[in-house]
Amino acid sequence: MSMRDYVALTKPKIVWLLLLVALASEIIASRGLPPIVAFVGLFLAGSFSSLGSLALNSYLEMDVDAKMKRTRNRPLPGLRIVQPRRALAFGLSLVALGLAISWLTLTPLATLFIGLGALVYVQVYTVWLKPRTSWNIVLGGFAGSCCALAGWYAITTADPLIAWVLAALVFVWTPSHFWSLAVITEEDYSAAGIPMLPSVVGEKKAAKFIVVNTLLLIPISLLFFLYLAGTGEVVYLVGALFLDILLLATNIKLLITPTKSNALLAFKASSPFLAVIFILACVSVLL
């Protein structure tokens, strides 16, 4: 057991995207650089809460992880952390620290969404939805939406429509991204008894769902254009349309030929999509 194993529990590769969404939403709400206390507070609160939630996910799914090739060497199923309750205490402590920092530095509404994001991811998604329904990732995607809402409401309660457009971007992007991954790892999910969509309906039908979901994502990604003016409009519109077309093209290729290699291509196209969209939104607002 080492500190590296505890860090691995928190799946830090996921956290950076959650933080980018939250901080970008804060910048967009501020229409510029936010107050330093709000920016640092959101960074710390979002980091600890997200890291803690992911550590709790690792604790709750250690038996499932042991059944999957992709995850069986993680610290808990790999027995590098031999007392699981320590992982539980570690995760709970991080979430509590994140909420405390949020309460001291941000607005009550921002703290509410940070707490709600943790609750939805840990209890609603991990415990209730993931083992029971193939729509798990659709409903569980609201946990990521809470990052955008926390960032927005850390600054203002004005323009709630734009706040929820940003939240909807995360919510609708999530299925296209994770269903592509689930096509690649379908055997793992089947072995673990997790009803991810491709394991339940097959690769061909899952590809149809991915295309339909992306067709819903595209107009939502363009709605943010209405919030902009001047040079920012052009920058955002050109960038968003390029990403939309690229993502849809890879999804259609997967639909025509539903192979793991095409699923990997769709997954790679979706991976930077959300980050680049939010970065484009920040740049466009600043312009």
Q: What percent of the chain has pLDDT over 70?
A: 98
197-251 residue pLDDT tens: 998 999 999 999 999 999 999 999 998 888 876 666 888 999 999 999 999 999 9
Q: How far apart are CA 24 and CA 71, in angstroms?
A: 31
Residue with tokens 């994140």: 98
Residue 216 tokens read as: 């819903």
Neighbours of 28 (CB within 10 A): 27
User: Residue 216 region, left (φ>0) first, then alpha (ψ -120 to 50), else beta?
Assistant: alpha
Q: Which amino acid is at 34?
A: P
Residue 90 in this model has a pLDDT that exceeds 80: yes
Higher-confidence position of 135 and 97? 97
Q: How far apart are CA 182 and CA 3, in angstroms?
A: 30
**Residue 234: per-residue pLDDT:** 85
Helical spans, DSSP H, in the chain: 3-9, 12-30, 36-60, 62-65, 84-105, 108-119, 136-140, 142-153, 160-184, 186-192, 197-201, 203-223, 231-256, 260-270, 273-286
| Three-class SS state of 1 | coil
* Vertex 50: Cα angle to 93 and 137 (nearest 5): 125
**To which H or E segment does residue 72 belong?**
none
102-161 residue pLDDT tens: 999 999 999 999 999 999 999 999 999 999 999 999 988 999 999 999 999 999 999 999
Candidates 1.20.1260.10, 3.30.930.10, 3.40.50.300, 1.10.357.140; CATH matching 1-157 = 1.10.357.140
Neighbours of 166 (CB within 10 A): 27
Contacts of 35 (CB under 8 A, 6+ apart): none
Residue 20 tokens read as: 């980018």
- pTM of the predicted model as reported, rounded to 2 decimal places: 0.94
Residue 191 in this model has a pLDDT that exceeds 90: no
Mean pLDDT score of the chain: 93
- Report the chain's C-alpha Rg in angstroms: 19
Q: How far is CA 74 from CA 63, 139, 173, 233, in A?
A: 11, 26, 27, 44
15-67 residue pLDDT tens: 999 999 999 999 999 999 999 999 999 999 999 999 999 999 999 999 988 88
CB 55, CB 10: distance < 8 Å: yes
Domain range annotation of the chain? 1-157, 159-287
CB 177, CB 271: distance < 8 Å: yes
CB 94, CB 66: distance < 8 Å: no
Residue 200 tokens read as: 């339940």
Q: How far apart are CA 222 and CA 238, in angstroms?
A: 10
φ, ψ of residue 17 in degrees (nearest 5): -70, -40
CATH of domain 159-287: 1.20.120
**Residue 45: per-residue pLDDT:** 98
